Chains A and B, each alone.
Chain A
Amino acid sequence: MKRIYAGANTVIAISAGIIVLLGYFIDQPVLVGFRSILLRWAVILAGVALLVGIWNLFSVHLQKIRERRPDSVNSVVLLFFVLITAIASITPDLQPFQGVLLNGIMIPVEVSLIAVLAVTLVYASVRLLRTRINLSSILFLVTALLIMLGTGPFPGIGQLPFISDWLRPFISQALALGGARGILIGVALGTLTTGLRILSGVDRPYGGAS
Protein backbone atom coordinates (compact mmCIF):
# COMPACT_ATOMS: atom_id res chain seq x y z
CA MET A 1 0.00 0.00 0.00
CA LYS A 2 2.84 2.37 0.89
CA ARG A 3 4.46 1.69 -2.47
CA ILE A 4 1.22 2.47 -4.33
CA TYR A 5 0.87 5.70 -2.32
CA ALA A 6 4.47 6.75 -3.04
CA GLY A 7 4.11 5.76 -6.72
CA ALA A 8 0.87 7.74 -7.10
CA ASN A 9 2.50 10.79 -5.49
CA THR A 10 5.41 10.55 -7.90
CA VAL A 11 3.17 10.20 -10.98
CA ILE A 12 1.02 13.20 -9.94
CA ALA A 13 4.07 15.36 -9.13
CA ILE A 14 5.92 14.51 -12.36
CA SER A 15 2.81 14.99 -14.54
CA ALA A 16 1.99 18.34 -12.93
CA GLY A 17 5.64 19.46 -13.26
CA ILE A 18 5.84 18.54 -16.96
CA ILE A 19 2.50 20.25 -17.77
CA VAL A 20 3.57 23.47 -16.00
CA LEU A 21 6.99 23.41 -17.69
CA LEU A 22 5.62 22.81 -21.19
CA GLY A 23 2.83 25.35 -20.65
CA TYR A 24 5.52 27.93 -19.93
CA PHE A 25 7.27 27.38 -23.27
CA ILE A 26 4.57 26.14 -25.67
CA ASP A 27 1.75 28.54 -26.42
CA GLN A 28 -1.06 25.96 -26.82
CA PRO A 29 -4.43 27.01 -25.27
CA VAL A 30 -5.07 23.57 -23.70
CA LEU A 31 -1.61 23.41 -22.15
CA VAL A 32 -1.69 27.03 -20.96
CA GLY A 33 -5.17 26.44 -19.46
CA PHE A 34 -4.00 23.34 -17.57
CA ARG A 35 -0.92 25.18 -16.39
CA SER A 36 -2.99 28.06 -15.09
CA ILE A 37 -5.36 25.67 -13.21
CA LEU A 38 -2.42 23.81 -11.64
CA LEU A 39 -0.76 27.07 -10.56
CA ARG A 40 -4.03 28.29 -9.01
CA TRP A 41 -4.28 25.01 -7.08
CA ALA A 42 -0.68 25.44 -5.96
CA VAL A 43 -1.45 28.93 -4.62
CA ILE A 44 -4.51 27.58 -2.72
CA LEU A 45 -2.40 24.73 -1.33
CA ALA A 46 0.26 27.25 -0.26
CA GLY A 47 -2.44 29.11 1.70
CA VAL A 48 -3.57 25.89 3.39
CA ALA A 49 0.06 25.01 4.12
CA LEU A 50 0.49 28.39 5.80
CA LEU A 51 -2.47 27.60 8.08
CA VAL A 52 -0.94 24.21 8.87
CA GLY A 53 2.33 26.00 9.65
CA ILE A 54 0.58 28.41 12.02
CA TRP A 55 -1.09 25.46 13.75
CA ASN A 56 2.36 23.89 14.00
CA LEU A 57 3.67 27.11 15.62
CA PHE A 58 0.74 27.00 18.03
CA SER A 59 1.40 23.36 18.85
CA VAL A 60 5.15 23.90 19.48
CA HIS A 61 4.46 26.73 21.93
CA LEU A 62 1.62 24.86 23.68
CA GLN A 63 4.08 22.02 24.19
CA LYS A 64 6.61 24.49 25.71
CA ILE A 65 3.94 25.81 28.11
CA ARG A 66 2.83 22.29 29.09
CA GLU A 67 6.42 21.27 29.82
CA ARG A 68 6.89 24.52 31.85
CA ARG A 69 10.17 25.35 30.11
CA PRO A 70 12.15 28.32 31.54
CA ASP A 71 10.99 30.89 28.94
CA SER A 72 7.44 29.59 28.54
CA VAL A 73 6.09 33.03 29.42
CA ASN A 74 7.27 34.13 25.95
CA SER A 75 5.17 31.34 24.46
CA VAL A 76 2.12 32.57 26.40
CA VAL A 77 2.63 36.10 25.02
CA LEU A 78 3.09 34.74 21.48
CA LEU A 79 -0.06 32.59 21.61
CA PHE A 80 -2.05 35.49 23.08
CA PHE A 81 -1.06 37.79 20.20
CA VAL A 82 -1.60 35.07 17.56
CA LEU A 83 -5.18 34.77 18.84
CA ILE A 84 -5.68 38.55 19.06
CA THR A 85 -4.36 38.99 15.48
CA ALA A 86 -6.55 36.16 14.19
CA ILE A 87 -9.65 37.65 15.86
CA ALA A 88 -8.80 41.14 14.51
CA SER A 89 -8.38 39.68 11.00
CA ILE A 90 -11.67 37.81 10.82
CA THR A 91 -13.90 40.35 12.64
CA PRO A 92 -14.92 43.15 10.23
CA ASP A 93 -15.37 45.75 13.01
CA LEU A 94 -11.83 45.16 14.30
CA GLN A 95 -10.08 45.69 10.93
CA PRO A 96 -8.52 49.08 11.99
CA PHE A 97 -7.01 47.33 15.01
CA GLN A 98 -4.97 45.21 12.57
CA GLY A 99 -3.11 48.37 11.49
CA VAL A 100 -2.31 49.11 15.13
CA LEU A 101 -0.87 45.60 15.56
CA LEU A 102 1.19 45.93 12.37
CA ASN A 103 2.45 49.50 12.76
CA GLY A 104 2.61 49.55 16.54
CA ILE A 105 4.17 46.17 17.29
CA MET A 106 5.31 44.18 14.26
CA ILE A 107 7.20 46.89 12.32
CA PRO A 108 8.99 48.47 15.36
CA VAL A 109 10.09 45.01 16.54
CA GLU A 110 11.42 44.12 13.09
CA VAL A 111 13.20 47.48 12.77
CA SER A 112 14.87 46.95 16.15
CA LEU A 113 15.99 43.50 14.99
CA ILE A 114 17.57 45.12 11.91
CA ALA A 115 19.40 47.52 14.26
CA VAL A 116 20.67 44.53 16.27
CA LEU A 117 21.73 42.94 12.99
CA ALA A 118 23.76 46.04 12.04
CA VAL A 119 25.64 45.90 15.36
CA THR A 120 26.10 42.13 14.96
CA LEU A 121 27.65 42.60 11.52
CA VAL A 122 30.08 45.28 12.72
CA TYR A 123 31.10 43.00 15.60
CA ALA A 124 31.46 40.04 13.22
CA SER A 125 33.65 42.10 10.87
CA VAL A 126 36.00 43.04 13.72
CA ARG A 127 36.04 39.41 14.87
CA LEU A 128 36.86 38.29 11.32
CA LEU A 129 40.13 40.25 11.54
CA ARG A 130 40.98 38.46 14.79
CA THR A 131 40.02 34.91 13.86
CA ARG A 132 40.51 34.57 10.11
CA ILE A 133 43.24 36.83 8.82
CA ASN A 134 43.79 35.87 5.21
CA LEU A 135 43.85 37.65 1.88
CA SER A 136 40.15 37.19 1.12
CA SER A 137 39.06 38.46 4.56
CA ILE A 138 41.24 41.58 4.26
CA LEU A 139 40.05 42.17 0.67
CA PHE A 140 36.43 41.78 1.78
CA LEU A 141 36.73 44.26 4.64
CA VAL A 142 38.75 46.82 2.64
CA THR A 143 36.13 46.67 -0.14
CA ALA A 144 33.29 47.11 2.36
CA LEU A 145 35.11 50.09 3.90
CA LEU A 146 35.71 51.72 0.50
CA ILE A 147 32.04 51.28 -0.48
CA MET A 148 30.94 52.84 2.83
CA LEU A 149 33.40 55.74 2.42
CA GLY A 150 32.12 56.31 -1.10
CA THR A 151 28.45 56.19 -0.10
CA GLY A 152 28.11 58.31 3.03
CA PRO A 153 28.54 62.11 3.10
CA PHE A 154 30.94 63.35 5.80
CA PRO A 155 30.29 66.36 8.04
CA GLY A 156 32.06 69.43 6.68
CA ILE A 157 33.59 67.61 3.67
CA GLY A 158 30.57 66.07 1.98
CA GLN A 159 31.52 63.22 -0.33
CA LEU A 160 35.07 62.16 -1.11
CA PRO A 161 35.33 62.87 -4.87
CA PHE A 162 37.79 60.17 -5.97
CA ILE A 163 36.15 57.42 -3.92
CA SER A 164 32.50 58.29 -4.56
CA ASP A 165 32.84 59.30 -8.24
CA TRP A 166 35.30 56.72 -9.50
CA LEU A 167 36.30 53.98 -7.06
CA ARG A 168 32.87 53.06 -5.66
CA PRO A 169 31.16 52.83 -9.09
CA PHE A 170 34.10 50.79 -10.42
CA ILE A 171 33.93 48.33 -7.51
CA SER A 172 30.13 48.00 -7.42
CA GLN A 173 29.32 48.19 -11.14
CA ALA A 174 32.30 46.44 -12.70
CA LEU A 175 33.97 44.08 -10.21
CA ALA A 176 31.05 43.23 -7.90
CA LEU A 177 28.41 43.10 -10.64
CA GLY A 178 30.53 40.74 -12.73
CA GLY A 179 31.12 38.45 -9.76
CA ALA A 180 27.46 38.60 -8.74
CA ARG A 181 26.34 37.65 -12.26
CA GLY A 182 28.75 34.72 -12.23
CA ILE A 183 27.33 33.49 -8.92
CA LEU A 184 23.75 33.97 -10.16
CA ILE A 185 24.46 31.98 -13.35
CA GLY A 186 25.80 29.17 -11.13
CA VAL A 187 22.70 29.34 -8.92
CA ALA A 188 20.44 29.29 -12.01
CA LEU A 189 22.21 26.17 -13.33
CA GLY A 190 21.88 24.53 -9.91
CA THR A 191 18.18 25.39 -9.89
CA LEU A 192 17.80 23.86 -13.37
CA THR A 193 19.44 20.55 -12.42
CA THR A 194 17.53 20.39 -9.10
CA GLY A 195 14.28 20.90 -11.02
CA LEU A 196 15.23 18.18 -13.52
CA ARG A 197 16.00 15.72 -10.70
CA ILE A 198 12.58 16.40 -9.16
CA LEU A 199 10.85 16.18 -12.57
CA SER A 200 12.49 12.83 -13.23
CA GLY A 201 11.55 11.54 -9.77
CA VAL A 202 15.14 11.06 -8.58
CA ASP A 203 14.57 13.53 -5.71
CA ARG A 204 11.14 13.16 -4.14
CA PRO A 205 10.60 15.61 -1.31
CA TYR A 206 7.02 14.35 -0.96
CA GLY A 207 5.16 11.17 -0.01
CA GLY A 208 7.65 10.04 2.66
CA ALA A 209 10.06 8.59 0.14
CA SER A 210 13.19 9.84 -1.48
Chain B
Amino acid sequence: MTFTGILGLGIIVLAAILMVVLAFIHRRSPFSFRNILAFSRIRRSASLVVEDGTRLHVSLGNGSVLTPAGASALAGLILVRKLGEITSISDRPPLATTGNGLVNLLSQDTLRGAHNSVAVEQFFDMNNARMPGTTPLSYAAGVMPSIRDENISANILIGNFGPEVGLLTEAADRQNAAVVAATDNLTAQAVLLVTSPDTLIGEELFAAGAYVQSSPTHSASLLVQDILRWLIIIALLAGAGLKMAGLL
Protein backbone atom coordinates (compact mmCIF):
# COMPACT_ATOMS: atom_id res chain seq x y z
CA MET B 1 0.00 0.00 0.00
CA THR B 2 1.47 3.34 -1.05
CA PHE B 3 1.60 6.48 1.13
CA THR B 4 -1.09 8.09 -1.06
CA GLY B 5 -3.28 5.00 -0.58
CA ILE B 6 -2.87 5.09 3.21
CA LEU B 7 -3.61 8.83 3.23
CA GLY B 8 -6.70 8.38 1.03
CA LEU B 9 -8.08 5.52 3.11
CA GLY B 10 -7.25 7.48 6.28
CA ILE B 11 -9.28 10.49 5.06
CA ILE B 12 -12.24 8.22 4.21
CA VAL B 13 -12.13 6.48 7.62
CA LEU B 14 -11.77 9.85 9.41
CA ALA B 15 -14.74 11.25 7.44
CA ALA B 16 -16.85 8.16 8.30
CA ILE B 17 -16.03 8.39 12.04
CA LEU B 18 -16.74 12.15 12.08
CA MET B 19 -20.05 11.58 10.28
CA VAL B 20 -21.21 9.02 12.86
CA VAL B 21 -20.14 11.17 15.84
CA LEU B 22 -21.63 14.39 14.43
CA ALA B 23 -24.90 12.64 13.49
CA PHE B 24 -25.15 11.46 17.10
CA ILE B 25 -24.49 15.01 18.40
CA HIS B 26 -27.02 16.44 15.92
CA ARG B 27 -29.76 14.18 17.34
CA ARG B 28 -29.21 15.72 20.79
CA SER B 29 -28.73 19.35 19.74
CA PRO B 30 -29.49 20.03 16.05
CA PHE B 31 -27.01 22.19 14.11
CA SER B 32 -28.21 25.29 12.31
CA PHE B 33 -27.00 26.21 8.82
CA ARG B 34 -26.88 29.48 6.93
CA ASN B 35 -29.86 30.23 4.72
CA ILE B 36 -29.30 29.34 1.05
CA LEU B 37 -31.85 31.17 -1.08
CA ALA B 38 -31.88 28.52 -3.84
CA PHE B 39 -33.09 25.79 -1.47
CA SER B 40 -35.89 28.04 -0.18
CA ARG B 41 -36.86 28.61 -3.83
CA ILE B 42 -36.90 24.84 -4.46
CA ARG B 43 -39.29 24.26 -1.55
CA ARG B 44 -41.49 27.17 -2.63
CA SER B 45 -41.54 25.98 -6.26
CA ALA B 46 -42.60 22.47 -5.19
CA SER B 47 -45.49 23.90 -3.16
CA LEU B 48 -46.58 26.20 -6.00
CA VAL B 49 -46.56 23.32 -8.49
CA VAL B 50 -49.03 21.40 -6.32
CA GLU B 51 -51.24 24.47 -5.91
CA ASP B 52 -51.43 25.66 -9.52
CA GLY B 53 -51.55 22.24 -11.23
CA THR B 54 -48.36 22.73 -13.23
CA ARG B 55 -45.41 20.41 -13.42
CA LEU B 56 -41.96 20.28 -11.81
CA HIS B 57 -38.97 19.23 -13.90
CA VAL B 58 -35.78 17.87 -12.33
CA SER B 59 -32.86 17.52 -14.73
CA LEU B 60 -30.08 15.22 -13.51
CA GLY B 61 -27.54 16.03 -16.24
CA ASN B 62 -25.27 13.66 -18.10
CA GLY B 63 -23.01 12.24 -15.39
CA SER B 64 -22.63 8.47 -15.20
CA VAL B 65 -22.62 6.84 -11.78
CA LEU B 66 -19.55 4.89 -12.92
CA THR B 67 -17.50 8.12 -12.91
CA PRO B 68 -16.85 10.74 -10.18
CA ALA B 69 -19.32 13.01 -12.02
CA GLY B 70 -22.06 10.59 -10.95
CA ALA B 71 -21.96 11.89 -7.36
CA SER B 72 -23.79 15.04 -8.45
CA ALA B 73 -26.52 12.92 -10.06
CA LEU B 74 -26.81 10.88 -6.85
CA ALA B 75 -27.16 14.13 -4.89
CA GLY B 76 -29.88 15.09 -7.39
CA LEU B 77 -31.70 11.80 -6.81
CA ILE B 78 -32.09 12.68 -3.12
CA LEU B 79 -33.86 15.83 -4.28
CA VAL B 80 -35.98 13.83 -6.78
CA ARG B 81 -37.16 11.57 -3.96
CA LYS B 82 -38.10 14.43 -1.66
CA LEU B 83 -39.71 16.60 -4.36
CA GLY B 84 -41.42 13.51 -5.77
CA GLU B 85 -43.09 12.92 -2.39
CA ILE B 86 -44.27 16.55 -2.27
CA THR B 87 -45.52 16.83 -5.87
CA SER B 88 -46.78 13.29 -6.59
CA ILE B 89 -50.10 14.19 -4.98
CA SER B 90 -50.69 16.91 -7.60
CA ASP B 91 -52.54 16.43 -10.92
CA ARG B 92 -49.27 16.58 -12.85
CA PRO B 93 -46.54 14.29 -11.49
CA PRO B 94 -42.93 15.53 -11.57
CA LEU B 95 -40.72 14.90 -14.58
CA ALA B 96 -37.11 13.69 -14.19
CA THR B 97 -34.72 13.73 -17.15
CA THR B 98 -31.14 12.57 -17.58
CA GLY B 99 -28.69 11.85 -20.37
CA ASN B 100 -27.36 8.67 -18.79
CA GLY B 101 -28.92 5.20 -18.88
CA LEU B 102 -28.01 4.14 -15.33
CA VAL B 103 -29.18 7.42 -13.79
CA ASN B 104 -32.38 7.08 -15.83
CA LEU B 105 -33.07 3.68 -14.24
CA LEU B 106 -32.32 5.08 -10.79
CA SER B 107 -34.56 8.11 -11.35
CA GLN B 108 -37.43 5.86 -12.52
CA ASP B 109 -37.06 3.80 -9.38
CA THR B 110 -36.75 6.85 -7.13
CA LEU B 111 -39.83 8.51 -8.64
CA ARG B 112 -41.80 5.26 -8.37
CA GLY B 113 -40.75 4.94 -4.70
CA ALA B 114 -41.85 8.52 -4.02
CA HIS B 115 -45.12 7.96 -5.90
CA ASN B 116 -45.91 4.73 -4.04
CA SER B 117 -45.24 6.35 -0.69
CA VAL B 118 -47.90 9.03 -1.19
CA ALA B 119 -50.25 8.15 -4.07
CA VAL B 120 -50.60 4.36 -4.11
CA GLU B 121 -53.99 4.36 -5.83
CA GLN B 122 -52.85 6.29 -8.90
CA PHE B 123 -51.06 4.62 -11.79
CA PHE B 124 -47.35 5.46 -12.00
CA ASP B 125 -46.16 6.30 -15.51
CA MET B 126 -42.54 5.16 -16.07
CA ASN B 127 -42.24 7.84 -18.78
CA ASN B 128 -42.15 10.46 -16.03
CA ALA B 129 -38.44 9.63 -15.85
CA ARG B 130 -36.84 10.00 -19.27
CA MET B 131 -33.59 9.86 -21.17
CA PRO B 132 -34.14 12.38 -24.01
CA GLY B 133 -30.63 12.03 -25.45
CA THR B 134 -27.34 10.26 -24.86
CA THR B 135 -24.86 13.06 -25.64
CA PRO B 136 -24.85 16.42 -23.80
CA LEU B 137 -26.21 18.38 -26.77
CA SER B 138 -28.77 15.79 -27.86
CA TYR B 139 -29.93 15.66 -24.25
CA ALA B 140 -30.35 19.47 -24.21
CA ALA B 141 -32.16 19.33 -27.57
CA GLY B 142 -34.47 16.62 -26.22
CA VAL B 143 -35.29 18.44 -22.97
CA MET B 144 -36.04 21.84 -24.51
CA PRO B 145 -39.38 20.75 -26.09
CA SER B 146 -40.43 19.17 -22.76
CA ILE B 147 -39.78 22.47 -20.94
CA ARG B 148 -41.89 24.23 -23.59
CA ASP B 149 -44.80 21.78 -24.05
CA GLU B 150 -45.40 20.04 -20.73
CA ASN B 151 -46.76 22.88 -18.60
CA ILE B 152 -43.60 23.06 -16.51
CA SER B 153 -43.45 25.98 -14.08
CA ALA B 154 -40.25 25.11 -12.21
CA ASN B 155 -37.00 23.53 -13.36
CA ILE B 156 -34.38 22.17 -11.01
CA LEU B 157 -31.14 21.42 -12.83
CA ILE B 158 -28.88 19.40 -10.56
CA GLY B 159 -26.10 17.15 -11.83
CA ASN B 160 -23.22 17.12 -14.27
CA PHE B 161 -23.73 19.51 -17.20
CA GLY B 162 -21.52 21.22 -19.75
CA PRO B 163 -22.02 24.68 -21.27
CA GLU B 164 -25.15 23.32 -23.03
CA VAL B 165 -26.99 23.96 -19.75
CA GLY B 166 -27.37 27.52 -21.09
CA LEU B 167 -29.84 26.19 -23.67
CA LEU B 168 -31.98 24.68 -20.90
CA THR B 169 -32.04 27.85 -18.79
CA GLU B 170 -32.89 29.90 -21.90
CA ALA B 171 -35.74 27.50 -22.80
CA ALA B 172 -37.08 27.83 -19.23
CA ASP B 173 -36.75 31.61 -19.34
CA ARG B 174 -38.82 31.78 -22.53
CA GLN B 175 -41.65 29.99 -20.68
CA ASN B 176 -41.25 32.24 -17.61
CA ALA B 177 -40.51 29.11 -15.60
CA ALA B 178 -38.37 29.24 -12.47
CA VAL B 179 -34.87 27.73 -12.62
CA VAL B 180 -32.70 26.60 -9.73
CA ALA B 181 -29.40 25.12 -10.89
CA ALA B 182 -26.41 23.32 -9.40
CA THR B 183 -23.57 21.52 -11.10
CA ASP B 184 -20.12 20.16 -10.34
CA ASN B 185 -18.74 21.33 -13.69
CA LEU B 186 -16.82 24.64 -13.63
CA THR B 187 -17.69 25.68 -17.20
CA ALA B 188 -21.37 25.03 -16.60
CA GLN B 189 -21.18 27.00 -13.32
CA ALA B 190 -19.85 30.01 -15.24
CA VAL B 191 -22.70 29.68 -17.77
CA LEU B 192 -25.27 29.32 -14.98
CA LEU B 193 -23.94 32.38 -13.17
CA VAL B 194 -24.91 34.43 -16.22
CA THR B 195 -28.16 32.71 -17.15
CA SER B 196 -29.76 31.78 -13.84
CA PRO B 197 -30.21 33.98 -10.74
CA ASP B 198 -30.44 30.97 -8.39
CA THR B 199 -27.22 29.07 -8.91
CA LEU B 200 -25.61 26.89 -6.28
CA ILE B 201 -21.82 27.13 -6.38
CA GLY B 202 -19.41 24.23 -5.82
CA GLU B 203 -20.16 21.96 -2.91
CA GLU B 204 -23.51 23.65 -2.20
CA LEU B 205 -24.85 21.10 -4.70
CA PHE B 206 -24.19 18.34 -2.15
CA ALA B 207 -26.01 20.24 0.61
CA ALA B 208 -29.39 19.42 -0.96
CA GLY B 209 -29.98 16.46 1.38
CA ALA B 210 -29.29 18.51 4.53
CA TYR B 211 -31.45 21.45 3.44
CA VAL B 212 -34.36 19.52 1.96
CA GLN B 213 -34.41 16.34 4.05
CA SER B 214 -32.69 17.63 7.22
CA SER B 215 -31.78 14.17 8.53
CA PRO B 216 -28.96 13.95 11.13
CA THR B 217 -26.59 12.15 8.73
CA HIS B 218 -27.09 14.71 5.97
CA SER B 219 -26.45 17.57 8.39
CA ALA B 220 -23.43 15.73 9.81
CA SER B 221 -22.00 15.20 6.32
CA LEU B 222 -22.11 18.97 5.73
CA LEU B 223 -20.13 19.56 8.91
CA VAL B 224 -17.65 16.82 7.90
CA GLN B 225 -17.10 18.68 4.62
CA ASP B 226 -16.40 21.89 6.58
CA ILE B 227 -13.97 20.15 8.96
CA LEU B 228 -12.09 18.45 6.11
CA ARG B 229 -11.97 21.75 4.20
CA TRP B 230 -10.32 23.46 7.17
CA LEU B 231 -7.82 20.59 7.48
CA ILE B 232 -6.95 21.00 3.78
CA ILE B 233 -6.58 24.78 4.22
CA ILE B 234 -4.24 24.25 7.18
CA ALA B 235 -2.24 21.65 5.20
CA LEU B 236 -1.95 24.03 2.20
CA LEU B 237 -0.83 26.94 4.38
CA ALA B 238 1.62 24.73 6.29
CA GLY B 239 3.01 23.40 3.01
CA ALA B 240 3.44 26.93 1.64
CA GLY B 241 5.09 28.05 4.91
CA LEU B 242 7.52 25.11 4.94
CA LYS B 243 8.33 25.72 1.28
CA MET B 244 9.04 29.40 1.96
CA ALA B 245 11.25 28.43 4.90
CA GLY B 246 13.16 26.04 2.63
CA LEU B 247 12.21 22.97 4.69
CA LEU B 248 10.21 21.27 1.93
Contacts and interface: CB of A to CB of B under 8 A. Distances in A.
Interface of A: 21, 25-27, 42-43, 45-54, 56-57, 59-60, 63, 69-71, 74, 106, 109-110, 113-114, 116-117, 120-121, 123-125, 128, 131-132, 140, 180, 182-187, 189-198, 200, 202-203, 205-210
B101 A50 contact: yes
Contact of B101 (A51, A109, A117, A124): A51
Contacts of A193: 15, 19, 206, 221-222, 224-225
Contacts of A69: 149
- Looking at chain A's contact residues, the main secondary structure is helix
Nearest to A191: B71
A131 B66 CA distance: 40
A186 to B, nearest CB: 3
Contacts of B74: 194, 198, 203, 205
Given A124-B170, A189-B203, A190-B203, A60 B130 contact: yes
A57 to B, nearest CB: 6
B115 to A, nearest CB: 10
B56 interface: no
Given A132-B197, A193-B224, A206-B109, A113 B137 contact: yes
A187 B225 contact: no
Nearest to B229: A189
A138 to B, nearest CB: 12
A46 B64 contact: yes
